[in-house]
Structure 1
């Protein structure tokens, strides 16, 4: 489909329409993506967001998992796990309404607080400069719980003899974390990092389209490849654009995944996943 101008033939199947009813256009769909003047901005936004997500997607869940492992009350630990995991099961539509409840210009919680403090209200949906921080916070809030449980399960599987040896040697909490817990989490961190690296050119469509409410004033800092391609698909009804973009995204992601895994395996023979 990435190399065709897809047209649906009435009364025929998808495959018939693809192979018999659609014209071959070669690299035209890819050319549209490459020569579009907005692509540099869109690719920049996609890469920067994903790099931040990669870094914080390791630091925050690992930190939370370590904190959770030091909570001795079973009830508190269970409640904490539920509260952290609950956002993972929410749709981006629901999350977008939560964000709107905070940032709405007329009924938003933040503006109500500002008015009570004697400060002027603000329309946050007209301020693109704050949205990189908003999107990063929302993404980490929604996704950290799931990763935290993975790391916490790994911590629970650490041999208790290692903790006993550390206690006999008089190790502090910081030393236990540094010399016992983090080394045991290294392989899991590498695996999740490599898997996420395969999506370096892809973004969560719901985060960048639903949460921002597709506000045109925010495109400079919030438009990513997926949102850009979706808009092109809606405006021009050319499914080949979307297929070409997906082929580029997944192709580059696959190559990066394999290269990164080989590099890790070269440094640590047991660290690669491919």
Structure 2
């Protein structure tokens, strides 16, 4: 006797949809409901803003709007590229972001490896909380903390230097010292949170590998370097590739909160974002800012694509696609 199959996109007797996607949506409806606000936020502030990229090629007029403003082609890009400071701020942006990427990644991996070796659960929770806490502080609060450390007369750093017989340093007038200071603050604030991702990757490693290593008499150092690190290498590579897309974006919140409008420190700390922000305050033309933002995004996309191509050729497990 022939049986009639029910079409896949019809609903069953119970009223639940039979289609794969709809079934998944219905089954986990409360989970998707929790994600909905984040999805709406991303849609509004990321995808819905794409038409406004046209501003980069216009002399934007608020009264005329997006589709009636004067079209001027690539003229807005001259605002940045013809500037005397374009090369300086571009090099500063790349240099600082490369330092941030290398050192934050290195310390995040080290912290994750150390967390993995802790056996006391109470100390583990305390250590994780301590390392993650700085991530929840705003850069404004951090800037005041740094001022108490580096101010000329009452700063803790200068008091320590004087206690050992040295001369106090006017840190806020010493431009060459600030790349190292900013990297140190970036590590302190973000490495703890970044280590959670690597720790989660370590937690997914098959425990039988460590048991086999124990039988073979491997030390903890050997298990860390021969098992843990190679197996989390794809995660490190993928996160590094994703961060390469932001290498032309300076951490505006960090640098502007700490450096502000201190022109003495611009030679080593002025980045594209802070430069454009100052220019936007003075000129008030959003088209120039949009042009620079489009330039940053385009270069970031190309860097990710090229880096992913190289990674796929030599380390396929670490490629994004």
TM-score scaled by length of structure 2: 0.80
Counterpart of 1:121 (choices 147, 168, 188) is 168
Counterpart of 2:253 (choices 198, 206, 210) is 206
Contact 2:249/2:296 (CA < 8 Å) preserved in 1?
Answer: yes
Deviation track 1:47-89 (CA, whole Å, cap 9, x = no partner) reads 1111112211221111111111111111111111111111111
Q: Within 5 A, what are the aligned runs for 1:70-109?
A: 70-109=117-156
Name the Cα RMSD after superposition: 1.4
In 2, Cα distance between the equivalents of 1:93 and 1:206?
8
TM-score scaled by length of structure 1: 0.93
In 2, Cα distance between the equivalents of 1:240 and 1:106?
43
Instruction: Name 1:179's counterpart in structure 2.
Output: 226
SS in 1 for 2:259: coil
* Offset of residue 118 of structure 1: 4.3
Residue 300 (structure 2) pairs with residue 238 (structure 1): no
Residue 239 (structure 2) pairs with residue 188 (structure 1): no
Residue 66 (structure 2) pairs with residue 18 (structure 1): yes
* Offset of residue 219 of structure 1: 0.2
* Offset of residue 173 of structure 1: 2.0
Contact 2:104/2:186 (CA < 8 Å) preserved in 1?
Answer: no
SS in 2 for 1:56: helix
In 2, Cα distance between the equivalents of 1:87 and 1:214?
25
SS in 1 for 2:320: coil
- Of 201-210 and 255-264, more deviation after overlay is shown by 255-264
* Offset of residue 117 of structure 1: 4.1
* Offset of residue 7 of structure 1: 2.6
Higher gyration radius (CA):
2
Structure number with the bigger relative contact order (C-alpha 8 A, sep ≥ 6) is 1
Deviation track 1:170-197 (CA, whole Å, cap 9, x = no partner) reads 1122211111001110111011000001
Structure 1: stretches of 5+ with no match in the other structure: 10-15
SS in 2 for 1:94: helix
* Offset of residue 24 of structure 1: 2.0
* Offset of residue 44 of structure 1: 0.8
* Offset of residue 120 of structure 1: 3.2
Contact 1:198/1:250 (CA < 8 Å) preserved in 2?
Answer: yes
SS in 1 for 2:266: helix
In 2, Cα distance between the equivalents of 1:151 and 1:239?
39
Contact 1:96/1:213 (CA < 8 Å) preserved in 2?
Answer: no
Contact 1:131/1:222 (CA < 8 Å) preserved in 2?
Answer: yes
Instruction: Name 2:59's counterpart in structure 1.
Output: 5
Residue 78 (structure 2) pairs with residue 28 (structure 1): no
Instruction: Name 1:12's counterpart in structure 2.
Output: none
Aligned length: 267
Instruction: Name 2:199's counterpart in structure 1.
Output: 152
In 2, Cα distance between the equivalents of 1:269 and 1:105?
51
